[in-house]
């Protein structure tokens, strides 16, 4: 039914966009109906029509707590630990390795990325004025409607500096323990 409505809308818009082609609404409807009679694709089942967008699978059921503590943040922490152990490369972090050391980080902002996964802004406690950005991508099993894996796609230094000091970050964490140091 949704496909039929889409075809009707599309045909109507196409007809409206071409002033030299003066078709009546009845002509447009007859053309669309004729297409659907000969088109097996229009016979989609309810199951085929009820697909979930991937970001709905990723984030649709999240609570406020999930936005503060989730597997995207945990995967980022694991990735940074692997970098510190020399198991993966992070050229953008390499410049600051001596300053970062074994420092933990705080999440400044996190939001879904339209092409999958999450954009995360974060700062290390030991160098709080440096704001880093990362895209942590997540794979989705569409049949089971679950996230199956995570990968860090890119870490880069943001153009802007973070307006924080170490004391400021620690004070916020103390006042708002729902925000964590990772």
Strands (E), the chain: 105-112, 118-124, 130-141, 146-161
Query: Which tens digit of pLDDT belongs to each residue from 103-149?
Result: 899 999 999 988 889 999 999 998 998 999 999 999 988 889 888 89
Burial annotation 138-159 (CB, 10 A radius, 16+ → b, else e): bebeeeeeebeebebeebeeee
Note the pLDDT of residue 160.
Answer: 85
Note the pLDDT of residue 32.
Answer: 52
Select the more confidently predicted residue: 20 or 54.
54
* Mean pLDDT within 35-53: 59
Q: CA 114, CA 58: separation in Å to the nearest integer?
A: 11
Look up the pTM and report it.
0.69
Note the pLDDT of residue 11.
Answer: 43
Select the more confidently predicted residue: 110 or 40.
110
pLDDT of 8 over the 80 cut? no
Query: What are the two backbone dihedrals, phi and then psi, of residue 144, each rounded to the nearest 5 degrees?
Result: -90, -10
Select the more confidently predicted residue: 88 or 18.
88
- Domain borders along the chain are 2-49, 54-175
Note the pLDDT of residue 33.
Answer: 57
pLDDT of 91 over the 70 cut? yes
Radius of gyration of the chain (CA): 25
On whether the CB atoms of residues 138 and 150 are closer than 8 A, the answer is yes
């Amino acid at each position: 039914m949704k496909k039929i409505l889409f075809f009707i809308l599309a045909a109507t818009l196409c007809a409206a966009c071409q002033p030299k082609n003066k078709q009546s609404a009845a002509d447009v409807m007859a053309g669309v109906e004729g297409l659907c009679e000969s088109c097996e694709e229009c016979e989609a089942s309810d199951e085929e029509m009820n697909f979930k967008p991937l970001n709905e699978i990723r984030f649709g059921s999240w609570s406020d707590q999930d936005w503060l503590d989730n597997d995207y943040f945990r995967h980022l922490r694991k990735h940074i630990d692997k970098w510190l152990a020399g198991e993966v490369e992070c050229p953008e972090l390499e410049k600051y390795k001596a300053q970062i050391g074994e420092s933990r980080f705080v999440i400044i902002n996190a939001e879904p990325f339209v092409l999958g996964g999450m954009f995360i802004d974060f700062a290390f406690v030991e160098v709080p004025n440096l704001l880093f950005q990362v895209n942590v991508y997540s794979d989705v099993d569409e049949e089971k409607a679950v996230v199956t894996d995570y990968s860090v796609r890119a870490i880069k230094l943001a153009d802007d500096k973070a307006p924080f000091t170490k004391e400021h970050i620690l004070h916020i964490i103390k006042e708002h323990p729902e925000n964590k140091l990772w």
